[in-house]
């Protein structure tokens, strides 16, 4: 290992000051030292994470800590650790057999004695139960994929999703983590519907937005130096999604200082949420309101018109865009265009939209000048990081340094912020990157033997862990 590090240091020296910065990166890749490459990408200044679901971006241990901390505010949670077959067959719903489903005190009090015996207080988990609980909301087994994520993770989180204090704390931790990786801007998708106080009092969507706003003004967030915008998420396939869309659109317009956009989420292979469904409602809303739209589209296995239809809806950013590759005309339309595709490499692999990275359209988009940026989607459930996304991109698609830098600039150029804020962000990042390049060419890595702390995904797939 030390010998390889020495070679890298030597190569970095040879190329120092001789070229545009691309040569040292090529030398680094050619060294085949993934640890050194990872360390460079971890230390690299980053732009924005534009596609980040607040609740999906929270690592399991953060969920648990926030749930327990909220007990001081009167919340109390229980989780299912055994099935005692308490319900007659005709009264069992899909979630009855789900272990580690979390319920609040109200739900618990409503159970009979038999069913209460299936739950333990979240505070009283044994070590084994705790390990099971933490594993239950991340994709850490080979057998787990799309069904586990869409049909079990959220159903397990259940009551925890509606706690406004947890939502605020999640946002804070999410932003701090991105800042610690060098990001300077984030657009976080948040839920504002359905929140409840510990005594059951309903919190209105406007109150939830006000609470997010207040949390973002606290010192620990200000100190991250991040700029932040929120996106309101609409579950696209539910029966009254049009009414939700109207409400969220009005809320976004009214809170335009903080809410940058509305985003349609939820699995696209549920036909009830197809994009064209929302065209009349959006046209009606555009009569009165100016609101940004970033919409999940093309996150499906089959070729279809979802990306095209989503552009017609008025979206300026496409989340995932996997099957855009199947639509020649829209590919042509997107080249050098005003729309960006938010690429989520780890998500797409773990949710089985690609079997391996040779199937992923990202390099085709990138190298035919379709604007793209890398983002993390639900990194808490992949147990991964923003750095991991860059590592995967460089390792799997042999990105050169110019391309890496372009991804950061794209993430800021296509951010939903005013032009003056955008320019400040780009200037700040450009300066940080210039300093980073100069330093790494002059001194090499500060501590090349030390791999930064890594999480499960990158450890299991690329053996990047100590």
Residues found near Zn ion in the complex (CB under 5 A): 377
Kindly tell me which of 75 and 149 has the beta carbon lying closer to Zn ion: 149
Q: From the CB of 43, what's the least distance to Zn ion, in Å? A: 27
Residue 226, beta-bridge partner list: none
Place of tokens 């706690």: 163
Shortest Cβ 170–Zn ion spacing (Å): 16
- Name the β-bridge partners of 374: 343
| Contact yes or no for 184/227 (Cβ under 8 A) | yes
Query: In terms of CB distance, is 377 or 388 closer to Zn ion?
Result: 377
Rounded distance, CA 465 to CA 386, Å? 16
Name the token pair of 455: 């999480």
Which position has the token pair 């469904």?
277
Q: Is 460 exposed, middle or buried (0-12, 13-18, 19+ CB in 10 A)?
A: middle
From first CA to last CA, the distance across the chain in angstroms is 13
By CB neighbour count within 10 A (0-12 exposed, 13-18 middle, 19+ buried), where does 413 fall?
middle
CB of 338 to Zn ion, least distance (A): 21
Closest CB to Zn ion among residues 104, 377: 377
Bridge partners of 53, per DSSP, are 189
Instruction: Between 294 and 334, name the residue whose CB sits nearer to Zn ion.
Output: 294
Backbone torsions φ then ψ of 216, nearest 5 degrees = -70, -20
Q: How far is the CB of 259 from Zn ion (least distance, A)?
A: 17
Q: Which residue is nearest to Zn ion (CB)?
A: 377
Q: Token pair for residue 162? A: 């509606």
Q: Minimum distance between the CB of residue 158 and Zn ion, rounded to whole angstroms?
A: 20
Report in angstroms how near the CB of residue 311 gets to Zn ion at its nearest: 18
């Amino acid at each position: 290992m030390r010998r390889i590090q020495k070679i890298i240091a030597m190569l970095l020296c040879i190329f120092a000051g001789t070229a545009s910065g691309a040569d040292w990166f090529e030398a680094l890749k050619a060294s085949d030292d993934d640890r050194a490459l990872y360390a460079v990408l971890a230390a690299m200044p980053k732009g924005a994470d534009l596609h980040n679901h607040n609740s999906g971006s929270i690592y399991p241990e953060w969920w648990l800590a926030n749930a327990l901390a909220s007990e001081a505010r009167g919340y109390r949670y229980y989780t299912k650790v055994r099935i005692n077959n308490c319900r007659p067959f005709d009264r069992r719903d899909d979630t009855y057999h789900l272990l580690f489903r979390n319920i609040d005190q109200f739900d618990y009090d409503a159970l009979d004695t038999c069913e209460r015996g299936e739950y333990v207080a979240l505070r009283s988990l044994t070590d084994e139960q705790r390990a099971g609980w933490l594993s239950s909301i991340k994709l850490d087994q080979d057998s787990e994929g799309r069904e586990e994520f869409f049909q079990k993770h959220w159903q397990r989180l259940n009551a925890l999703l509606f706690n406004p204090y947890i939502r605020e704390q999640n946002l804070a931790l999410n932003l701090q983590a991105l800042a610690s990786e060098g990001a300077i801007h984030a657009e976080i998708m948040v839920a504002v519907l359905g929140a409840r106080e510990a005594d059951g009092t309903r919190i209105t969507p406007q109150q939830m937005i006000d609470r997010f706003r207040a949390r973002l003004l606290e010192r620990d967030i200000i100190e991250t130096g991040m700029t932040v915008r929120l996106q309101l998420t609409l579950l696209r396939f539910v029966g009254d999604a049009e009414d939700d869309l109207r409400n969220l659109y009005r809320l976004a317009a009214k809170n335009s200082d903080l809410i940058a956009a509305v985003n349609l989420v939820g699995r696209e292979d549920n036909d009830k949420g197809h994009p064209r469904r929302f065209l009349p409602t959006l046209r009606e809303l555009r009569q009165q309101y100016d609101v940004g739209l970033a919409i999940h589209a093309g996150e499906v296995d089959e070729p279809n018109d979802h990306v095209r239809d989503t552009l017609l809806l008025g979206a300026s950013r496409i989340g995932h865009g996997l099957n855009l590759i199947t639509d020649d005309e829209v590919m042509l339309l997107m080249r050098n265009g005003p729309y960006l595709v938010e690429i989520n490499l780890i998500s797409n692999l773990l949710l089985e939209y690609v079997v391996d990275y040779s199937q992923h359209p990202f390099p085709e988009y990138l190298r035919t000048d379709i604007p793209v940026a890398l983002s993390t989607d639900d990194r808490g459930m992949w147990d991964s990081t923003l750095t991991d996304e860059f590592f995967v991109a460089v390792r799997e698609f042999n990105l050169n340094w110019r391309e890496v830098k372009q991804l950061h600039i794209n993430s800021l150029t296509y951010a939903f912020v005013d032009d003056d804020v955008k320019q400040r962000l780009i200037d700040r990042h450009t300066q940080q990157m210039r300093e980073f390049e100069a330093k790494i060419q002059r001194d090499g890595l500060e501590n090349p033997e030390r791999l930064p702390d890594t999480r499960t995904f990158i450890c299991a797939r690329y053996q990047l862990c100590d």
